[in-house]
Amino acid sequence: QVECWHVVFIMAEKKLHRRGAGGSAWLRNAKNCANHILLQVVDALYSQLLWEEYGMPSPSFRDIVFEYLKSLCAAVDRVLPLLPAVYEIMTSKRTGLGPLRWRLSRMTERKENDPGSILFVSAIDPALHVKFISTGEPILCSQVGPRMKSFNKMIPRHEIDAVWALIGFFSSKSADGKPLELLVHSLITYRCGSLPSFASDLAPNQHQLQTASKEVKRVSVLLSSECFGTLPSIDTLMRDVVNN
């Protein structure tokens, strides 16, 4: 299936360059398709980073699976810039990745209360995936809102570490570094971040200093790899980091 999607996005890229149509319905459909695939990739990666929340005893993906996903993302990047799209998936109230739910697998015809049914945890409803395949209608975020926003700035440390891992997985040179800047700024300055924005009379402990040092190094790597785009656009982020 990964090879099939490769062909789809290569063809979409060629049509995009040939038509040069910025707002056409065709281009919108191609980007909706790429975003739909990316939404599932993010959910799959979350399942390996926070496997206990997904009801799993341990991570289950082999190295070859990550290689396939990386290759698939490279194909998606042909029609949809990865980092801005991932930022939307993490934060958008309309099309963002929603909360986790127990889902009924559509691989069998069994009912939900059947002892032989297959249940799994996911942020994506399989029925909505099938609906997208048949109608092209994007999966909309639940009323609860996107996962990142549901913590209301009280995002736990393990979630922050998971998002940093996602950033590392999807990192690529970006013409527009603003979405990544906003995401990184949130991770650092939320209440459980290494440099929280609220005032505190408590002296930082050794663990916080080590975490802050580690995250500043991560920002440095993103800077040197041009993931933020042009340097002037990240002035606010760097000023806040240095001031803290």
pTM: 0.82
Residue 48: the pLDDT is 95
* CB burial readout 153-187, b (16+ within 10 A) else e: eebeeebbebbbebbebbbeebeebebbbebbbbb
Percent over 70 (pLDDT), the chain: 79
CA pair distance 225, 230, nearest whole angstrom: 11
**pLDDT tens for each residue of 110-145:** 555 565 567 889 999 888 888 888 888 888 887 778
Side chain identity, residue 55: G
Q: Give the model's confidence band at 43: pLDDT under 50 very low, under 70 low, under 90 confident, else very high.
A: very high
**pLDDT tens for each residue of 199-239:** 566 566 788 788 888 888 888 888 777 777 665 455 566 56
Kindly report the number of other CB atoms within 10 A of residue 60's CB atom.
11
Q: Please tell me the least confidently modeled range out of 163-167, 181-185, 195-199.
A: 195-199
Alpha helix (H) residue ranges in 20-140 = 25-49, 63-76, 82-91, 126-135
Residue 156: the pLDDT is 85
Q: Give the model's confidence band at 162: pLDDT under 50 very low, under 70 low, under 90 confident, else very high.
A: very high
Q: Give the model's confidence band at 84: pLDDT under 50 very low, under 70 low, under 90 confident, else very high.
A: confident
